[in-house]
A and B are shown apart, each in its own frame.
Chain A
Amino acid sequence: MTKVGLQALLSHWLRNPMQLFTLIVGLSLATALWSGVQAVNAEARASYDAAAQTLGEGRFAQITSDDGAIPQADYIRLRRAGWLISPVVEGRLDGVRLIGLDPLTSPSGLATMGADDGNLTIDALAGGVLFATQDTFERLGAYDITRVVTPDAAPGVIITDVGTAQRLLGLENTLSRLLVSPTQPIVQTPLAEVAPHLTLRAPQDGSDVGRLTDSFHLNLTAFGLLAFAVGIFIVHGAIGLAFEQRRPVIRTLRALGFPLRRLIALIAVELLVLSLIAGAIGVGLGYLVAAALLPDVAATISGLYGESVSGTLQLRPEWWLSGLMIAVGGTCMAAAASLFQLARMPLLASARPRAWAMQAGKGRMYQAGLAVGLLVLAGLLGIFGSGLAAGFGMLAALLIGAALALPVVLDRVLAFGASRAKSVTAEWFWADTRQQLPGLSLALMALLLAMAANVGVSTMVSSFRLTFTGFLDQRLASEFYVYADDADQAAELQTYLTPRVGKVLPIQSANQDVRGLPSEIYGPTAHSTYRENWLFLQSADDAWARIEAGEGAAINEQLARRAEIAIGDDITLAGEAFPVLGIYGDYGNPIGQIIVTETTFKRLFPDIRPNRFGLRMDAADVPVLTEALRKDFSLADAQMVNQAGIKAFSLSVFDRTFTVTGALNVLTLAVAGFAILMSLLTLATMRLPQLAPVWAQGLTRARLGRIEIIRAVLLALLTAGLALPLGLALAWTLLAVVNVEAFGWRLPMFLFPLDYARLAVFAVGAAVLAALWPARKLARTRPSDLLKVFSNER
Chain B
Amino acid sequence: MNVRILLPLLLPCAASAQGFAGLGTASEGFATPERPAIFDFETDHGPHPDYRIEWWYLTANLQDGDGTHYGLQWTLFRTALAPDEGEGWSSPQIWMGHAAVTTPTHHYVTERLARGGIGQAGVTAQPFEAWIDDWQLAGSDFDTLNMTASGPDFAYDMDLTAQGPLIFHGDAGYSVKSADGQASYYYSQPFYEIDGTLTLPDGEVDVTGNAWLDREWSSQPLSENQTGWDWFSLSLDDGKLMGFRLRQENGSHYTSATWITPDGETTAYPDGAFQADPVSFSDVGGRQIPTQWNVTLDARGVDVDVYALNPKSWMATSVPYWEGPIIVEGSHAGVGYLEMTGYE
Contact = CB atoms under 8 A, between A and B. Distances in A.
Interface of A: 72-73, 76, 79-82, 84, 102-106, 108-113, 115-116, 118-122, 124-127, 161-164, 166, 172-173, 183-188
Given A76-B120, A105-B113, A126-B92, 9 more contacts: A104-B113, A115-B8, A118-B9, A120-B9, A122-B92, A126-B82, A161-B89, A185-B152, A187-B150
Contacts of A163: 88-90
Contacts of B4: 115-116
A164 B89 CA distance: 8
Contacts of A112: 1, 5
Given A110-B1, A126-B82, A186-B153, A76 B131 contact: no
B29 to A, nearest CB: 11
A774 B121 CA distance: 83
B2 A106 contact: yes
B134 A79 contact: yes
A163 B88 CA distance: 8
Contacts of A82: 133-134, 150
Given A161-B89, A163-B90, A185-B151, A79 B120 contact: yes
Interface residues of B, number: 36
20 contacts: A72-B118, A82-B133, A82-B150, A104-B2, A104-B114, A104-B115, A106-B2, A108-B3, A115-B9, A118-B12, A126-B89, A161-B89, A163-B90, A183-B152, A185-B110, A185-B150, A186-B150, A186-B154, A187-B155, A187-B199
Contacts of A84: 133
Contacts of A72: 118
B160 interface: no
A700 B84 CA distance: 100
B55 to A, nearest CB: 17
A115 B134 contact: no
Nearest to A123: B81
B6 interface: yes
B8 A120 contact: yes
A246 to B, nearest CB: 59
A72 B89 CA distance: 11
A118 B8 contact: yes
A550 to B, nearest CB: 45
A106 B2 CA distance: 7
B119 interface: yes
Interface in B130-175: 131, 133-134, 150-155
Contacts of A102: 89, 115
Given A82-B134, A126-B91, A103 B5 contact: yes
Nearest to B149: A185
Contacts of A161: 89
Of the candidates A105, A166, A173, A184, the one having the most CB atoms from chain B within 10 angstroms of its own CB is: A105
Contacts of B133: 79-80, 82, 84
A-B residue pairs, 6 tightest by C-beta? A163-B89, A118-B8, A122-B81, A185-B150, A82-B134, A104-B113
A126 B86 contact: yes
Contacts of A124: 9
B94 interface: yes
A161 B115 CA distance: 11
Contacts of A122: 81-82, 92
Contact of B2 (A108, A118, A119, A125): A108
Of the candidates B8, B88, B91, B115, the one having the most CB atoms from chain A within 10 angstroms of its own CB is: B115
B170 to A, nearest CB: 31
B205 to A, nearest CB: 14
A185 to B, nearest CB: 4
Contacts of B151: 185-186
A186 B81 contact: no
Interface in B49-92: 81-82, 86, 88-92
A162 B5 contact: no
Contacts of A116: 4
A253 B81 CA distance: 80
B118 A184 contact: no
A121 B155 CA distance: 34
A187 B86 CA distance: 31
Contact of A121 (B9, B90, B134, B153): B9
A470 B154 CA distance: 60
B149 to A, nearest CB: 9
Interface string B1-42: 111111111001000000000000000000000000000000
Contacts of A118: 7-9, 12
B207 to A, nearest CB: 17
